[in-house]
Amino acid sequence: MQTAPPSHPAHQPAFQGSSPDSSALAPSLVVSIHDLSTVTRGAVTRMLADLGDLGVPVTSLLVIPDHHHTGRIDADPDFGAWLRGRVAEGHEAVLHGFYHLRPSKAGEGVVTKLITRSYTAGEGEFHDLTFDEASALLQQGRASLHACGIKPTGFIAPAWLLGEEAEKAVRNEGFDYTTRLGSVIDCREKGEFAARSMVYSVRAPWRRGLSLLWNGVLFRALRMGEAPLLRIGLHPPDWEHQAIRRQILKFIRIAARERSVTTYQDWLARAHSDSPSGSS
């Protein structure tokens, strides 16, 4: 999905803003699996089995309540039971859009078209919503997860494309955190922790080739720079390409040996409990 070099250092050691300084935390690894839905549950189950074999017992699971309008999670009792089972094991369920689809709008400029169609294949659902539109989808999404017996504390926008008004809505709805490609945003403390996520784009052969190269460079840079938080974002289609899957598993095997494996929710809770001010 993202293959260009970062425009800022791979990481910075502390929150920007008023959040606690988490640079003293043990080096951590968060593996997130994007796009879990009634459609992708089987694929995600296979990914979790591979990750478990590598010493990654917990992940942040990004759940789409109604993936491309193909089936709501709260209308599928098997999905709800399965998700509750994973959360009971220590995985985290994060709200990830509602449909994961951005309807194209009339009169769009070239830049908007490039961002929302080329960069994300039309999946930037929260890229340019109004505050009210975003609030309504967040409420529906949260209600869908509640109906499955899950209370999410985080929201992550599809393709990390979170517009300004949508970000205000996320804060207003009381989510504890959100993430962008380059940072974790603590909504309660209004702090932002710079941490670049690894992510692969597999839609075309050239994208896969570039992703392997770029993520190889990024992994080495984050590892040598002793990034406090290493983020690896996975998508179900990654597992359909053996070269991509092999590289991901190799890097995760190394990182899981060197780092404390956690979820976004637990990582933030630990940052708060370790802060000198003792804020929670």
Q: Which is nearer to Zn ion, 36 or 222 (CB)?
A: 36
By the criterion CB under 5 A, which residues form the site for Zn ion? Answer: 34-35, 158
Q: What is the token pair recorded at 255?
A: 């990182």
CB 61 within 8 A of CB 44: yes
Nearest approach, Cβ of 158 to Zn ion (angstroms)?
4
| Residues 144/66, Cβ–Cβ less than 8 Å | yes
For residue 96, the minimal CB distance to Zn ion (Å) is 6
Q: How far apart are CA 189 and CA 277, in angstroms?
A: 12
CA distance to 42, 137, 144, per residue, from 100 (Å) = 19, 11, 14
Output the six-digit token pair for 212: 């392997």
Nearest distance, CB of residue 35 and Zn ion, angstroms: 4
First to last CA, the chain: 34
51 or 61: whose CB is closer to Zn ion?
Answer: 61
Decide whether 129 or 256 has the Cβ nearer to Zn ion: 129
**Nearer Cβ to Zn ion (63/271):** 63
Shortest distance in whole angstroms from residue 233 CB to Zn ion: 9
Q: Which residue's beta carbon is nearest to the bound Zn ion?
A: 34
| Beta carbon of residue 16, minimum distance to Zn ion (angstroms, whole number) | 25
For the chain, where are the E strands, in sequence order?
11-16, 28-36, 60-63, 92-95, 177-180, 183-186, 191-195, 197-199, 229-234, 260-262
Q: What pairing do the DSSP bridges indicate for beta strands 60-63 and 229-234?
A: unpaired
Q: How far is the CB of 106 from Zn ion (least distance, A)?
A: 25
